[in-house]
């Protein structure tokens, strides 16, 4: 049965989203149709909406930080059933490809090609609006009251979890937390620097603190973000604009040679360089978490690496998604990790454009939209 429901459609790049009635087709084999209960807005949605994303297709239903209830399943689906509480996953986990079988990565490639083209694995879309096919986004499209995802792109979670909070585990919090505990493997007593104090940066700080770091330096030009960063575990915060010296020099001086771990949570290639060069000679590790615009390149002197620094990157915090998102929900439910504290605003879904404005203005960490 086709479902008619409300969705925010991006008809073209650079324009506000439009609340429309869309038709959502039933799930085909190995697909799951989900009633989205809550979704949040992330910078990645804004990046694609801006037109800068080379994989961006329009018209499209954006959104990749969501949570909901399974409405129906296609044939062959065994992992979830109608009524299950779930989080859609933009990095799937098929368990069968060489990436899934390798413990070193979480980058399942089973549906990568079609997902990048904005369609389901069979090459078609489940969304139509005003007679036009609407593209999917990141395999999730959570800016719709109902969405259809591949059965490998869904994690079944604790039914008692509040969906207007755990939706954030679909991207930002998991990404930052995992960057610290999985990718960097922060050690007790270490010194860390976190560049960019948005939602992902705060999650990195939380991960560093849980891992036992003794000094966590937050770096941002927006000083309004410092109080929140300290609440999450930053021991001090600095602004690059407060010194005539490059920020990496400031950090090397502050830390007697550099930090053990640094994290770039912005997506700025200049800051990525600064983060690497702020690392300690011999053992410093810098992790790129932020996504830079298409075509941009990173640079540093090779000597930085020859003398023992390591440059790494991470996607979704290195978590194998189907296995670990339910565990992250459990960690939240047992109060090991923070989630509620990331939510600064809650709005009705119709006010989605307001959520984008709050994000661009730096006034919000995460705005959750409820249907």
Active site residues: 42-44, 64-65, 94, 97, 100, 108, 112, 171, 366
Distance CA 19, CA 17 (A): 7
**Residue 198 contacts residue 365 (beta carbons within 8 Å):** yes
Alpha helices of the chain — where are they, by DSSP H? Answer: 43-50, 98-101, 112-116, 163-166, 172-178, 199-210, 226-232, 247-254, 269-277, 302-306, 321-333, 352-361
In the numeric block, which tokens belong to residue 69?
């209830």
Those residues whose C-beta lies under 8 Å from the C-beta of residue 87, and which sit 6 or more positions away, are 66, 67, 154, 155, 157, 166, 167, 169, 170, 325, 329
Burial class (CB in 10 A: 0-12, 13-18, 19+), 54: exposed
Grouping H, G, I as helix, E, B as strand and the rest as coil, residue 138 is coil
Closest C-alpha among 273, 82, 21, 63 to residue 168 = 63
In the numeric block, which tokens belong to residue 52?
């800068």
Neighbours of 291 (CB within 10 A): 16
């Amino acid at each position: 049965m086709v479902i008619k429901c409300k969705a925010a459609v991006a008809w073209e790049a650079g324009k506000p989203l439009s609340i429309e009635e869309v038709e959502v087709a039933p799930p085909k084999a190995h697909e799951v149709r989900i009633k989205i209960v809550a979704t949040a807005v992330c910078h990645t949605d804004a990046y694609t909406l801006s037109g800068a994303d080379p994989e961006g297709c329009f018209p499209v239903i954006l959104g990749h930080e969501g949570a909901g209830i399974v409405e129906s399943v296609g044939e062959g689906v065994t992992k979830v059933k109608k009524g299950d509480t779930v989080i859609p996953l933009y990095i799937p986990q098929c368990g069968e490809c060489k990436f899934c079988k390798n413990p070193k990565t979480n980058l399942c490639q089973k549906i990568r090609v079609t997902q990048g083209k904005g369609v389901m694995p069979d090459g078609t879309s489940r969304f139509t609006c005003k007679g036009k096919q609407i593209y999917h986004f990141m395999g999730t499209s959570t800016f719709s009251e109902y969405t259809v995802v591949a059965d490998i792109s869904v994690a079944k979670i604790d039914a008692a979890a509040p969906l207007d909070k755990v939706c954030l585990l679909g991207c930002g919090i998991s990404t930052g937390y995992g960057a610290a505990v999985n990718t960097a493997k922060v050690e007790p007593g270490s010194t860390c620097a976190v560049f960019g104090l948005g939602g992902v940066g705060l999650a990195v700080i939380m991960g560093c603190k849980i891992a036992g770091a003794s000094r966590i330096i937050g770096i941002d030009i927006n000083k309004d973000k410092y109080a929140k960063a300290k609440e999450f575990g930053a021991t001090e915060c600095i602004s690059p604009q407060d010194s005539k010296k490059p920020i990496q020099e400031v950090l090397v001086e502050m830390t007697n040679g550099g930090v053990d771990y640094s994290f770039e949570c912005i997506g700025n290639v200049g800051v990525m360089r600064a983060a690497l060069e702020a690392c300690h000679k011999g053992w410093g590790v810098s992790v790129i978490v932020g996504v830079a615009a298409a075509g941009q390149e990173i640079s540093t002197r090779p000597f930085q690496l020859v003398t023992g620094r390591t440059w790494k990157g991470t996607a979704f915090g290195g978590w194998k998604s189907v296995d670990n998102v339910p565990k992250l929900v459990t960690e939240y439910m047992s109060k090991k990790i923070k989630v509620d504290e990331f939510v600064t605003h809650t709005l009705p879904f119709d006010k989605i454009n307001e959520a984008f404005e709050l994000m661009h203005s730096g006034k919000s960490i995460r705005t959750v939209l409820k249907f």
